[in-house]
Structure 1
Amino acid sequence: MVKFQYKTMNKYLVGMVIIVATLLVVGLVISNSTNKETENNSDTLKWNDNLDQAIQEAKATNKTVFVDLYADWCTYCGEMDKNTFTSLEVQEKLSQNYVLVKIDVDKNPGPSSKYQAYSLPTMLILDSNGNEIKRIVGYQSPEKLLSQI
């Protein structure tokens, strides 16, 4: 009788281990697919990080330049990345009409000094010579940004 209970208990434990392992694998698969979808949404826009190269590209393609000046510590900059720049309408309009540049002002303070951008986020629209056409300061919802670009 003791042998029977031991075998039954082993089968129960093995069954539980299999169930727990399966749940862990399914959870990891779902987590990875969700992360990839998020990464793909935020990576849809192709940002340059070199303003001079972007200006040269704008000259070659007859476009204007859209500059996003940001910092990692800027809460509203992160909100723009999460909410505004992931909007499909914003992505479509930006990618069709502009050469895009995203500049971390802590790592590259030159452009923020040159254009006297003292608050973040600041977005600049520049012509293909680097002259400022328009300045957009502060958090912009997708709708608000679309109305300005």
Structure 2
Amino acid sequence: MNKYFVWMAVIFISLLMVIVAVSSLNSNETKTDTTPSLQWGTDINQAMQEAKNTNKSIFVDFYADWCSYCQMMDDEAFSSPEVKGKLTQNYVLLKVYVDQNPELSTQYKAYSLPTIIILDSNGNEVKRIVGYQSTEQLLNQI
């Protein structure tokens, strides 16, 4: 009977060691994104003033928490180092939560989500991108 418990303990400890070893290997393989996160503004007037001061266009992301494609764009396209670099270099960033800002959504006719509108520094529409965009698709349009 004692031999049985000894063997069970040896097997249990061996399995535990294998699990710890495998989990430490997986954690070493995890990539860390070292690019800074995007700094989104929420005030259109402030964005227009900043765009005038920096001679940039305004990149407006109309979104909602309940929009699954909006969340996918946040997790994928807007997390890409290439997209982050291009957006930061060329645009003043504005994120508009349509449920909390229906007036701005109506003003720019952002009825489908996600909708991205590129504005000049006076708030005039330059380009409209409607629907989910992969990283590659977004890079080709901005």
Tell me which interval the TM-score lies in, with the shorter structure as reference length: 0.7 to 0.9
Q: Which amino acid aligns with 2:53?
A: A
What TM-score, normalized to structure 2?
0.77
Q: Which amino acid aligns with 1:114?
A: Q
Give the Cα separation in 1 of the matches to 2:81 and 2:133: 15
Aligned match for 2:75, one of 73, 76, 82: 82
1:88-133 Cα offsets, whole Å, 9 max, x none, are 0000000000000001000111211001111000000000000000
Alignment of 1:6-25 (within 5 A): none
Alignment of 1:120-139 (within 5 A): 120-139=113-132
Aligned equivalent of 2:11: none
Aligned match for 1:104, one of 97, 110, 115: 97
Could you tell me the percent identity over the aligned residues?
60
What TM-score, normalized to structure 1?
0.74
Aligned equivalent of 1:55: 48
Query: What is the number of residues matched between the two proteins?
Result: 139
Q: Name stretches of at least 5 consecutive residues in structure 2 with no aligned partner.
A: 1-19
RMSD across aligned positions (CA): 3.4
Q: Name stretches of at least 5 consecutive residues in structure 1 with no aligned partner.
A: 1-22
Where in structure 1 do 4 or more consecutive aligned residues deviate above 2 Å? none
Q: Which amino acid aligns with 1:47?
A: W
Corresponding residue SS for 2:141: coil
Q: Deviation at 1:62? A: 0.5
Corresponding residue SS for 1:66: strand
Q: Which has the larger radius of gyration?
A: 1
